[in-house]
Amino acid sequence: MEKVTEKEGLGQVQVSPMTLVCPLCGAKPGCACETASGGTLEIIHVTRIKAAAAKDAAKKKQQTR
């Protein structure tokens, strides 16, 4: 997975989305998200990526205290 730099406006996510349970489909940590059609594509839902970013932001906020 390629990291996006802060210059590109998104920052870097240090917490891997694959370590979290997907809030959308319930995929377990270490497993790819399920597709709507039940296909074989390995995807990660955006909600899972956003959850990782939120966890990362909370971690950074806690470290700055």
Structural domain spans, the chain: 19-63
**If we measure between CA atoms, which residue out of 59, 60, 25 comes closest to residue 42?**
25
12-34 pLDDT tens trace:
668 899 999 999 999 999 999 98
How many residues can be counted in the chain? 65
Closest among 1, 15, 21 to 57, alpha carbons compared: 15
Judge whether 48 and 17 are in contact, CB under 8 Å.
Answer: yes
Coil, helix or strand at residue 49: helix
Mean pLDDT of the chain: 81
Indicate the pTM of the whole model. 0.68
How does residue 37 score in pLDDT terms, banded at 50, 70 and 90? confident
